[in-house]
Amino acid sequence: MPSNFYRLASYGIFAVLGLFTLLTFKHYGISNDEEVQHVYGRLLLDFYQSGFQDQSAFHYKNLYLYGGLFDVIAALLERANLLWVWDMRHLLSAMFGLLGLLGVYKIALTLGSERTGLIALLVLALTAAWTGAMFTHTKDIPFATCMTWALYYTILVCKAAPAVPMHISIKLGLAVGCALGLRIGGGFAVVYLVLSLIVSSVVMANGMSARLHYLLVSSWRLVPAALIAFMVMAIFWPWGVMSPSHPAEAVKAFSNFSFNMLTIDNGLVTSIGEVPRTYLLHYLLVRLPEICLLGLLSLGLVVVLNLGKYKQCLASKESRVYIPLLVAILFPLAFVLADKPALYNGVRHFTFVLPPLAVLAALGIDQAWIALQSSKRILAAYGGLCLILALTTLVELVQLHPYQYIFYNHLAGDTAKAEKQWESDYWSSSLREASKALMALALPTRQSPYLVAVCAENVQGSAYLDHRFQVTKDWVAAEFYMSSTNMNCDQVLQGEVVAEVKRLDTVLAVVKDRRNLVGEAHNATPAPR
């Protein structure tokens, strides 16, 4: 088919995703971290408005260790009062998610063709850990989007090096600066750049002096990128530049980041500091849609069956544009295997790996399509398999809405099994729907509000409940209990189940009536492991 067809199809998908965003952004519940993040954004605005005098932001919990790019923008938009603050944040986060999809399309287009770009776009759109998370993961998705664009400009740098054009250097600096303005993990983008240029120098130049010259010229051309990245980071993460030691403190804090919390990996419950080194790999295997896994497998088979051809390709100068993509996938995975950091919530903290994986999968499907051209029957079977896998995932995502982010592929079993063996609604997004179910109960009218305990942050219940209810921290006195079923938190308090939030015959959240309990039945008990 002509490239125009694939381009128009990609534009059509963007239009559908944009419409989907506008129609559904109000469906998603508040996430656990969202309140503190928004307060941090307000405090950063206070810092600037006070002429740098009000430094409350740098003493608020541990939020000073993060950049506030998203939260500052959200705090500014809040003042326009166009939308309820939480819906506004979710729409803003989704817009970042759409920008990430555009970045993936641009990367795939650069490394392949219009068809590759379309496939990459479809793969990431079907990745629930992206499109299902882009409304509520207001730190992870914006960060991953900035990292995606930093990767795109790193690819362009390698393509043009050593004569890197000024406009590419500036755009790279903006992307890296925005990533650092969200998390110190944006330093990974710098590592990708450095490693990619070093490997590219081996491919592009012969002899040590020529390679050194290549790196020196490239580095000089990237000085604007470094300056712009620092300035953008300073604007959105002022604490990070108040002392030369602060970035190192943030790195140290996150390298040893652990607290009293459990996670689950294929039924194995452990503290987040004791997860196996393969935790991230396990979650990627069951969280990626089957179409993505097929693409990765296809690429591996095509490379093995055409090893001589691809060895020549790797040795050629054209291979330099693929180096950043491989680095962006392999380096984070190697880092986790070697460093064994505290991990939880599945792939959430490494959401930025999903876009490059989608591109790699798209390259695999595209190369397999080319390799199978000689046999129309096999090609049709392969295309049919891709279509079936994509449609199966799409149907399941529709059924899960608006909890697509809990999606697991069939390697994890059916939904009921997956939600017990792996982390489920860890953001407690289902409490929005549970709150509506509680308010729909026929309850006697009285002057004092009904006390409600919530297995989440209080705002995740209080934001949705009307004046008849009051969220309480005194769980023993609570008359109702709302909880997601993730990690069995719904079993911490007893009571009669009067409402459930279900998807695909799986209970995601419950509402319990505790008014008829007596004696010790009111007390909380540890969640069963």
Domain assignments of the chain as residue spans, ordered by start: 3-400, 431-522
Written as six digits, the tokens of 328 are 């962006």
pLDDT of residue 416: 87
pLDDT of residue 312: 72
List all residues 6 or more positions away from 255 whose beta carbon is below 8 Å from its beta carbon.
339, 341
SS3 380: helix
Identify whether the C-beta of residue 468 lies closer than 8 Å to the C-beta of residue 442.
no
DSSP 446: -
Q: How many CA atoms lie within 13 A of 141 on its CB side?
A: 28
H or E segment to which residue 501 belongs: strand 496-503
Q: Residue 316, Cβ neighbours under 10 Å: how many?
A: 10
List all residues 6 or more positions away from 240 whose beta carbon is below 8 Å from its beta carbon.
67, 180, 184, 233, 234, 246, 247, 250
Which of 212, 175, 69, 93 is CA-nearest to residue 141?
93
pLDDT of residue 256: 73
Q: How far apart are CA 442 and CA 449, in angstroms?
A: 14
pLDDT tens for each residue of 465-477:
999 999 999 999 9
pLDDT of residue 148: 98
End-to-end CA distance of the chain: 54
Written as six digits, the tokens of 416 are 């009921």
- At 264, phi and psi to the nearest 5? -135, 140
DSSP 112: S
Identify whether the C-beta of residue 44 lies closer than 8 Å to the C-beta of residue 57.
yes
Q: How far apart are CA 57 and CA 44, in angstroms?
A: 6
Written as six digits, the tokens of 47 are 């810092």
Residues of the chain with pLDDT under 50: none
Identify whether the C-beta of residue 451 lies closer than 8 Å to the C-beta of residue 438.
no
pLDDT of residue 415: 87
pLDDT of residue 315: 63
Q: Which amino acid is at 394?
A: L
Q: How many CA atoms lie within 13 A of 506 on its CB side?
A: 25
H or E segment to which residue 483 belongs: strand 480-484
List Cα–Cα distances, 271 to 211, 261, 383, 484, 529, in angstroms. Answer: 46, 6, 43, 20, 11
Q: How many CA atoms lie within 13 A of 17 on its CB side?
A: 26
Q: How far apart are CA 21 and CA 196, in angstroms?
A: 35
